[in-house]
Amino acid sequence: MDDITYVFIKGRKENFQKNIYQAKDFYYGCSSFDDENINLRIIEFYNPKEVKKIFLKLDHYLSRLFSLPLYFSRTFSFENFKILKNSSKIVLVSESAGFSVLPMILIIKVFKKTKVSLFVMGLYSKNLNYNNLKLIHNFLIKLLISRVDNVFFLGKAELEIAKKKHKKIDKLYYFPFCIDTEFWECENYKLNFKEKKDIVFVGNDGNRDFELLKNIVKAMPDYSFQIITKHFDSENLNLNNVKIISGEWGNNSLKDSELRKIYCNSRLTIIPLKESTQPSGQSVALQSISTGTPVLISKTKGFWDYDAFEDRKHILFVEDNKTSVWVERIKNAYNDLEMLEKISSESREKIKDNFDIAHFNYLLKSLI
């Protein structure tokens, strides 16, 4: 029997154990290992309230100093060490999970050939100004990469950066993020965009361009927006054409089924992004497309797979992050119902064929 342990940040363990999760997108294949031949365990970061403040402050200081997610106090315990030590395979679902359990992995790897797989997204997007700190920053990245057996990149651009930095390492793979297309299917899918009025934005990560989003909404008072994020509230965006829903994945403030309904009833999803090599906006784009709602997204270096997505066929790219350009592109797309219907049909098939969770699960099992 295989002992497989997943390390998540938050929001999965209780849902998975109680079988109350909805879409399987953010479980990184975890559900596919839930059978009688596998002993599956899940480790999550401890709630900050359960950790002594001095250790949290130390983590915060080190993380800021080296621009890496070093949350050792949120993961270390003898119980977690024992779980990891007894595992034959470990899946670290992010660089945050990877760095935070790195001390335990280093010890375990001395005594045991545990197979460790790491997912990364944004590992090479930080810029440090001080050479000494940059040396330590790069050393810690190299140390993490050297101690795991597979490194899965969710974006092709970041994979290419990693290959240039680690030329002698041959365990780096592009691993497309996939979604539960069956779940995200609208109950009554139809190509009648006349009935859909809203423009929707979803997201919280630091690469979302919230200032640009504000300017877009202000410049389009005759269009209706739904904004789902923890970064805005009605006080700092007090406009009649906006409905703000406070939402963050992992705390169940907005259920996947509720988000699906919003996508299904919207005409367009917009994802304005800052320039970065990180593949931001990935899950939102795939979810929205799967419901049949076309996506307008900033064209950044970090877009996950330009080979798979053709502009104006599967997705709509915006190359300039000026407010005026975005407003014009949104209006053109919003009012071209024939184009929206065409993109909706083409892109849904693309997601089903290439970015379904079944493909993700098969690929993961074959590699680990």
Which residues neighbour 116 within 8 Å (Cβ) at sequence distance 6 or greater? Answer: 89, 90, 91, 92, 105, 109, 147, 148, 149, 150
For residues 212 and 300, the answer to whether their CB atoms sit within 8 Å is no
The per-residue pLDDT of the chain, averaged, comes to 91
Residue 251 confidence class, pLDDT cut points 50, 70, 90 = low
CATH (residue range 181-354) = 3.40.50.2000
Model confidence over 357-367: pLDDT tens digits?
999 999 998 88
Q: Is the pLDDT of residue 177 over 80?
A: yes
Span 228-232, mean pLDDT?
A: 87
Return the domain boundaries, the chain: 2-175, 181-354
Fold of 2-175: Rossmann fold (3.40.50)
CA distances from 48 to 205, 235, 276, 348 (A): 20, 28, 29, 40
Q: Is the pLDDT of residue 53 over 90?
A: yes
Span 30-46, mean pLDDT?
A: 86
Rounded distance between C-alpha atoms, residue 158 and residue 141, angstroms: 14
Q: Is the pLDDT of residue 234 over 70?
A: no
pTM: 0.92
The two three-digit tokens of residue 272, written as one number: 């304005």
End-to-end CA distance of the chain: give it in Å, rounded: 15
Residue 235 confidence class, pLDDT cut points 50, 70, 90 = low
Span 200-229, mean pLDDT?
A: 94
Model confidence over 81-93: pLDDT tens digits?
999 999 999 999 9
Q: Among the listed ranges 19-28, 51-60, 328-337, which one has the minimum average pLDDT value?
A: 19-28
The two three-digit tokens of residue 232, written as one number: 């805005």
Q: Is the pLDDT of residue 147 over 70?
A: yes
pLDDT value of residue 261: 93
Q: Is the pLDDT of residue 50 over 80?
A: yes
Q: Is 170 helix (H, G, I), strand (E, B) or coil?
A: coil
In CATH terms, are 2-175 and 181-354 the same topology?
Answer: yes
